[in-house]
Amino acid sequence: MRSHRRHPDDRGDAAPADLTGGHVEKIVTVLWRPADTTKQEGAGGLRVCVEDDHVDGDALRMNPRPPPKAALVSYWVECSEDRGPFEEVLAESAGDLASFLVVESRPIVNTTHLVGPGERTPGMVQVTGIVAKEGLAHDEFIRIWQEEQRPCAIETQSTFQYIRNEIVRPLTGSAPGWDAIVEESFPIEAMNDPYVFFDAVGDDERLQANVTRMVETVSKMLEIDQTDVTVASEYVFGRPRASDR
């Protein structure tokens, strides 16, 4: 599976220049909270997607690898080998971390829930680590993800932001064996209300149809029992600058 991953020089789904600031390799780092810390203590200084006191995602959480991940941090650099200073800072707030080189695509761009730098984005983010279905060819995994799962996710859920991170390769030895990490932003009510989550408020028939379609679609491409889901708050602080590195 991993030998067929996309080469990082394939920029077909590269993030737009307004996010990258000219930096050309995206890294996502997953952090796990140190033992014996609260959500607030563990969240200090973390960027982008953080499990904090604004969210309680127990109803949605799936963690085949305990403990649950506490944060997802995304940043861009010219060269992934130069990530060391960033990881050193992140490690100060983490019990463990794992970094991945990824190719990002954004099927849904957030244009409706915008806030200032460092402010909490309204709603919640579902952060999902996924493993491709055993025996499924990589090209077929990507085809299903792009041609079937994309419209399914957009048409059956109340998402206002949808980010796909296809993993090129892990950058740290402790990284989970995921093939991708997905970030989906929802109204906060979706955290505990399936009718809101599946865009079917007041409509039992639509809820059942949307749930069925989602389950059937993801079952074609994912190892469901290895899917890792946590719920987080999003904070956007901008991007790393060349002068900061």
Q: Domain locations in the chain?
A: 2-237
Q: What is the 3-state secondary structure (H, E, C) of 112-155?
A: CCCCCCCCECCCEEEEEEECECCCCCHHHHHHHHHHHHHHHHHH
Q: Which residues pair with 96 in a beta bridge?
A: 32
Average pLDDT over residues 128-133: 97
Average pLDDT over residues 76-92: 87
Q: Percent of the chain having pLDDT more than 70?
A: 81
Q: Does position 155 have pLDDT exceeding 90, yes or no?
A: yes
Given the candidates 3.10.450.50, 3.30.70.100, 2.40.50.180, 1.20.1070.10, the CATH classification of the domain at 2-237 is 3.30.70.100
Angle at 123 between CA 122 and CA 124, to 5 degrees: 125
Q: Does position 24 have pLDDT exceeding 80, yes or no?
A: no
Rounded to an integer, what distance in angstroms lies between the CA atom of residue 175 and that of residue 198? 31
- Tell me which of 65-69, 126-130, 191-195, 205-209 is least confident: 65-69
**pLDDT score at 44:** 28
* Better pLDDT: 83 or 122: 122
- Tell me which of 69-73, 186-190, 208-212, 229-233 is least confident: 69-73
**pLDDT score at 57:** 75
Report how far apart, in Å, the C-alpha atoms of 40 and of each of 23, 28, 51, 91, 213 are: 31, 21, 9, 16, 37
**pLDDT score at 56:** 86
Cα 187–chain centre separation: 16
Q: Does position 15 have pLDDT exceeding 90, yes or no?
A: no
**pLDDT score at 34:** 64
* Better pLDDT: 108 or 96: 108
Q: Does position 97 have pLDDT exceeding 80, yes or no?
A: yes
Q: Percent of the chain having pLDDT more than 90?
A: 56
Outline where DSSP puts E strands in the chain: 25-32, 48-50, 71-77, 96-108, 124-130, 161-170, 180-186, 228-235
**pLDDT score at 29:** 85
